[in-house]
Structure 1
Amino acid sequence: MHLRHILIIFTLASCWSTVSGVDLAEARKRLGTPDPATIPWPDGVPPSQALVDLGRTLFFDRRLSAKQNQSCASCHNPELGLSDGLALGIGTNGNRVGRNAPHLYNLAWSTVLYWDGRMTNMDEQATKPIQSKSQMAMDLGELEARLRGVAAYRTAFHSIFGDPAAPADGSAITRERLGQAIAAFERTLVSRDSAFDRHLAGAKDALMPEAVRGLDLFLGKANCIACHSGPNFTDDSFHNIGVKSADAGRAAIVPGALAQNAFRTPGLRNIALTAPYMHDGSIPTLEAVVRFYARGGDAPTPDTLVRKIDLSEGDIRDLIAFLSALSDPLRIPIPAVP
């Protein structure tokens, strides 16, 4: 092989590893693709398929709400990016819920839950919206009795949790196991095959040029990486980003000036599917979100990460292209609810 050919090949390889200023090694290190092998399963053991299937059925069952008119999927709809497309959700009694319904993608790795981080355990959190007066408003004791009246649930809970020598009389159905089953299903909602992930894996045509430029901005001038880091694009921390709101946010859980009006950083996977945005659903589109950050927010904030960013119209389009390249909508089989 001639030296000239060797130089051409080397040059092409160099251009591939650094496109529009983006070093793929840096992107893999600071972002990356989630690895299901690293999910911190309870007790270090993945759930059985039977438990996941039970959790999926419960997730779609309207019996879990007081008026039997809502399921978990009502606010976390697979067709709407595991959210509901509303600024503020609607409870079983027709009332507005106080905050935007967050998506559920890749929560298996989350160390804090809810916008204010009030919980850390998914098994325990799974039953909280069921009990919440503003959401599903269901007494858990009544729910246990309701589910024990369904033969399919008596059989399923007994086969997973019950004593094989005992009858399937419904005694295996408890609120703790209900939460365990739903959380087991939710931990399987892993998004990891977006155009961005294929780009990191070496697919040269996975990202359009504008998305590659957007990645460069995300890591560089726009500094989105400061909060939206790691394979799930979140630092699992809390920030006051300058949204005009009377909601105390994290400060209601952990008092302090920096916690005032601070909310959990949402993961960005499938972000193009989960509008509207922010804890109150006050920003309708991704373009509006990018412009919000470019002007440094709409309210004073002590968070030094929030500042004006000099973005051109082309920069804004490129960032939106990159964020859209994080889409990997999951195909979730809808179960036949008994």
Structure 2
Amino acid sequence: MEKRYSARALRRLAVALCLLWLPLPATVHAAGAEFSLKDYCPAGFQLNGEGCYLQSLYASYDSLQDSGVGGLKTGLPELRQGFSPRQIDLGRLLFFDPVLSGDHSMSCASCHDPNKGFSDGRALSVGSKGQLAKRSAPSLWNVGFLKRLFWDARASSLEEQMLGPLYDSHEMANTPEQLLTDLRASSAYRELFAQAFNGDSSIQLDQVYTAIAAFESSLISLNSRYDLYAHGYHEALNEAEIEGMNIFRSFVARCAECHTPPLFSHQQIAVIGTPEPNNRPLDPGVAAVTGDASQRGGFKVPSLRNIALTAPYMHSGRFATLREAAEFYTGGRGHAVPPGEKLSLHWHIWEPKLTGEELDRLVDFMGALTDESFMPQIPASVPSGLAPVVGVQ
């Protein structure tokens, strides 16, 4: 028999959940001050031995295989976790430090701005010399759950992924040699790496990658109003949002079949036939990596967590609003495929013929996936002595 809770008990549950997710107070380092890494885990994580592990009600739910597509009480995929508090905090400082770029003008946070859902608010990202990247910057919220990285899924780990932007001449334009030289020139960084890696102050590339991966894996967003609803507090969503959720999960719209809760992505490749902006040629997507012609125009299905914060949308930033992006899916199978292209469109892309009101409700529901309660602290200063960089300068 299903267990039912009173309204008062559900309210108490919601309050308890909010308290669980509140970030712990953090010390702000003034410019010029000595740096010392935190010895406690980020909010929502618990120290177990020497590693930090996520505490989430989703851990008590069954896997997707057991509960079906779109189920509210569905378990999460495996998270990259077990990093030490000091490794996570070192990664946080590195993430905002422009010393990681070749000309010291960009940080990871240039394209993954916490104030813009850890994306950059641009259709196409901009590199250190003002060059346009080929695609938009995806959000980093919940990136530690992902098994494939980049729009074309060419990386299988966070460490492998970061080699792209760090050393690409169109992005941060650094080299491994210069990166190590600059970090090793900082006595503050040598001390911090020793704190994070068992007294080893030599600073090695794999340590740099581990620290950044540790920080990125701590960027968890699982306390939206949708999550409160899923955990049993049904007053967390209003009528319009519940209606949108039901459309989202329906066999007509079929959104949940690719954007599967609770991550809101099934992490697979889909060819959906979105048009390129400004008459640009079709981006071959995954096919350029695999050589598989059936994957031409295919891209990794992104998570919808915090999607309301990360406009514009699609790999090329083609749609300025969520409403436009949702409307694309009801325009008819293949309606935007360029002449002469014969794409192997994903079988979920069909003709749902949603009304304008139904599209509005979908947008309402996607707005209920917003949660920034685990927002990390942006450092006031960084160990290189350079000014921290956040957003496109």
Partner of 1:5: none
- Report if aligned partners of 1:76, 1:104 keep a CA contact under 8 Å in 2: yes
Task: State the Cα deviation string for residues 272-305 of structure 1 (Å, max 9, x = none).
Answer: 0000000011111000001111103521642221
Q: Distance in 1 between matches of 2:248 and 2:236?
A: 17
CA distance 1:33–1:301, shift in 2 (3 Å):
farther
Unmatched segments (≥5 aa) in structure 1 = 1-9, 17-24
Structure 2 matches for 1:1-338, cutoff 5 A? Answer: 30-31=69-70, 32=72, 38-41=78-81, 46-163=82-199, 168=201, 171=202, 173-220=203-250, 221-245=252-276, 246-296=282-332, 298-299=336-337, 301-302=343-344, 303-329=346-372, 330-335=374-379, 336-338=381-383
Q: Distance in 1 between matches of 2:371 and 2:323?
A: 20
Task: Give the letter aligned to residue 261 of structure 2.
Answer: G
- Report if aligned partners of 2:127, 2:133 keep a CA contact under 8 Å in 1: yes
Q: Distance in 1 between matches of 2:366 and 2:199?
A: 49
TM-score (normalizing by structure 1): 0.85
Unmatched segments (≥5 aa) in structure 2 = 11-61, 277-281, 384-393
- Report if aligned partners of 1:239, 1:262 keep a CA contact under 8 Å in 2: yes
Q: Would you tell me which structure has more helix in proportion to its own residues?
A: 1
- Report if aligned partners of 1:272, 1:323 keep a CA contact under 8 Å in 2: yes
CA distance 1:261–1:114, shift in 2 (3 Å):
same
- Report if aligned partners of 1:233, 1:269 keep a CA contact under 8 Å in 2: yes
**Deviation larger for 131-140 or 230-239:** 230-239
Q: Distance in 2 between matches of 1:212 and 1:160?
A: 45
* 3-state DSSP of counterpart to 1:30: coil
Q: Distance in 1 between matches of 2:100 and 2:290?
A: 31
Task: State the Cα deviation string for residues 87-128 of structure 1 (Å, max 9, x = none).
Answer: 000000111111000001111111110000111011232232
Task: State the Cα deviation string for residues 128-155 of structure 1 (Å, max 9, x = none).
Answer: 2111111000011111010111111000
Please report how far the alpha carbon of residue 160 of structure 1 lies from its aligned counterpart in structure 2 after TM superposition. Answer: 2.3
Q: Distance in 2 between matches of 1:36 and 1:261?
A: 28
CA distance 1:35–1:127, shift in 2 (3 Å):
farther
Task: State the Cα deviation string for residues 206-237 of structure 1 (Å, max 9, x = none).
Answer: 10101101111111021101211131111111
* 3-state DSSP of counterpart to 1:253: helix
Aligned length: 307
Please report how far the alpha carbon of residue 66 of structure 1 lies from its aligned counterpart in structure 2 after TM superposition. Answer: 1.2
Task: State the Cα RMSD in Å.
Answer: 2.3
Task: State the Cα deviation string for residues 68-88 of structure 1 (Å, max 9, x = none).
Answer: 111000000000000000000
